[in-house]
Amino acid sequence: MSKQPPAKSHGRKSIAATVKPRDLMAERSVAGAWTAKVITLLPDAFPGVLGESLTGKALKDGLWQLETIDLRPFGEGRHRNVDDTPAGGGAGMVLRADVVARALDQAARGVKPDADWPVIYLSPRGKPFDQRKAERLAQADGVTLLCGRFEGVDERVIEAHGIEEVSLGDFILTGGEIAAQALIDATVRLIPRVLGNQASTEEESFSDFLLEHPQYTKPAVWEGREIPDVLLSGHHAAINDWRREMAERLTKERRPDLWRAYCEKHGRDPEEDAEQ
């Protein structure tokens, strides 16, 4: 019986096919790989969904790296307290500045002084996260994400470290971990070779301030509903025109804010009929 040839290497790092999710984050140095460092009280929440599908495969292949920094060991006293009551009174607890600062110092280790490496606090009062921000982060060397808990973080450490606050939306989560995973997912998929088809990232929603056009697949007729004839015509110019028209119509109807940005970019009147 002949021996099976050894598995081909991706030239970056080798991981067994039976790797467990947390093993994906084992300390391995991958020179030049985009890296996300996450400061969190819930390190076991990672990689979570990031260890699945294309982002998980890209993590295995060394196209990006994920490192969690457990906030608890930096806490004060025998019980490693990381928070205290709000100055001035009020409900809840606030993460201490000195504790968070020690974790940030740990995250900064190994980051070159001239590296493009934003430090972001996931906060409901931050600037909204969008596709432009994801594109910007994907071009950086990496990012450090601070996941808040309780009532937030002492303002002094945010000011001292020049931390940028980013919000996933106008709603409240119990912590920043879910928001951090969403931000990482949106960013990692823009890294070359992660999706395998760079054109798909250029054509999808928000790439040009437009929502995506409707999509269809087999069967051609489902419950009396047919695929638009133009999509079956084979006329690529007509198909592209139809998709652009549908994207403009949906954007104008559902996202007036994006429609205004799109019109401004292309020198159009926002009141212009998207169907024309």
Q: What is the pTM of this model?
A: 0.84
* Confidence class for position 12, pLDDT limits 50, 70, 90: very low
For residues 180 and 153, what is the distance between their CA atoms, to the nearest angstrom?
16
Whole-number pLDDT of residue 25: 75
Please give the structure tokens belonging to residue 63: 């196209």
Question: What domains are defined for the chain?
Answer: 21-188 (3.40.1280.10), 205-266 (1.10.1270.20)
For residues 19 and 52, what is the distance between their CA atoms, to the nearest angstrom?
12
Whole-number pLDDT of residue 78: 95
Residues 79-117 pLDDT 10s:
999 999 999 999 999 999 999 999 999 999 999 999 999
For residues 46 and 147, what is the distance between their CA atoms, to the nearest angstrom?
12
Q: Answer positive or negative: Cα dihedral of 73, 77, 81, 87.
A: negative
* Confidence class for position 271, pLDDT limits 50, 70, 90: confident
Residues 131-189 pLDDT 10s:
999 999 999 999 999 999 999 999 999 999 999 999 999 999 999 999 999 999 999 99
Residues 211-239 pLDDT 10s:
999 999 999 999 999 999 999 999 999 99
| Bridge partners (DSSP) listed for residue 34 | 64
Residue 256: name the closest of 169, 207, 133, 264 by CA. 264
Average pLDDT (192-220) is 80
Please give the structure tokens belonging to residue 85: 């009551």
Measure CA 13 to chain center.
23
Residues 47-87 pLDDT 10s:
999 999 999 999 999 999 999 999 999 999 999 999 999 99
